Amino acid sequence: MVSKIIEVEADVAALADAADGGAADPGAESEWRRFVVDADGHGARLDRWLAARVPEVSRSYLQQLIAEGAVCLDGAVQSKPARRLRVGESLAIELRPTAQAQAFVPQPMALPIVFEDDHLLVIDKPAGWVVHPAAGHWSGTLLNGLLAHHAGAARLPRAGIVHRLDKDTSGLMVVAKTQRAFDALVAMIAAREVQRIYVALAGGPWRHPDRVGVDQPIGRDPRQRLRMAVHPPESGAAKPARTDIRRLDGGTPGRAEWVLVGCKLHTGRTHQIRVHLAWLGHPLVGDTLYGGRPALGMARQALHAVRLGLRHPVGGDWLAFESPLPPDLADAVTAAGLHYNPALLWAVRPDGEHDGPGHDRITGSA
């Protein structure tokens, strides 16, 4: 399916406040609030005590203000969120706009829209786009573009975003435009009723069955907080994660250096495909976080969300979408001497069943 590019114009309808995922007007002036620490507050942490008295903003927002010197105790600037309070102290806080507070604002951008109606839209996200504002990426995100695209986005949690792709993963995403669609899509994803198929280029050789299912819990890597990792099921430190994988080409004698695989998600853990393939011994090309190496001209991890299937959250019709491999990944596949045949992938079907032979399952320890 060919994407249509829609040039969007800013719609500066009122945004939700910070507590609801939105933010104040970026041009808003600072506001001072003053308190006196009562007996119940004696010995309390500064940030926690403030969070109970300024409930409309997040604790992380308050911690940022403290670090910026926006909080005074008895006239002296306090920069430590963990500072213990004493009864009778006078506290003043300047609620000022921060980069985080100004993140949830409309920014006109060209959205690569595959499908759109009154209740949802499907985006073919390019690699390099950040989906949601976060540290280091407070502007220019998909969320900012959605806020500019339609006024209803400002009234929805996360502007209607119900699932995410990593910054350097490309491909199909569904986004809600109404609260009814948002609630239904969240429930459908939790019930595993949204079918998501990916194509990945990884390092070989392939030493597994051509069709394999990985059931391995995923949680934060205790040695490197930026990474996720497979944990033993009994550890209690991870959530269940399941990925079905098909070898599409390569990884065999004579062509063992690279392998092209299809992946089907049954759960949606952070970095799930990247973690499961690395755990199998096949990190993605370009995915240096998980042991992959830059190669074949890929400047990012070689992962693309190629197919998406779901029932319309309001009308009930079956919707199926397909995105071609982006040029960088297509060129890398060719440079690896491999061939991408979409017919070898799972079809996205309303019955939700796997087509073709089953997958050998890998559970427990490797």
Instruction: Please give the DSSP secondary-structure letter assigned to residue 137.
Output: B
Catalytic residues: 166
The pair phi, psi for residue 3, each rounded to 5°, is -75, 145
Give whole-number Cα distances, 301 to 170, 244, 268, in Å: 9, 19, 18
Structure tokens at 138: 């407070």
Q: Rounded to an integer, what is the distance from CA 299 to the centroid of its chain?
A: 20
Q: What is the residue-wise DSSP string for 232-279?
A: -GGGSSSB--EEEEEEEEEEETTEEEEEEEEEEESS--TTHHHHHHHH
Identify the CA nearest to 200 among candidates 340, 60, 105.
340
- Count CA atoms within 13 Å of residue 104 on its CB side: 22
Closest by CA position to 279, among listed 320, 228, 324: 228
Instruction: Report the distance separating Cα 338 and Cα 291, nearest Å.
Output: 22
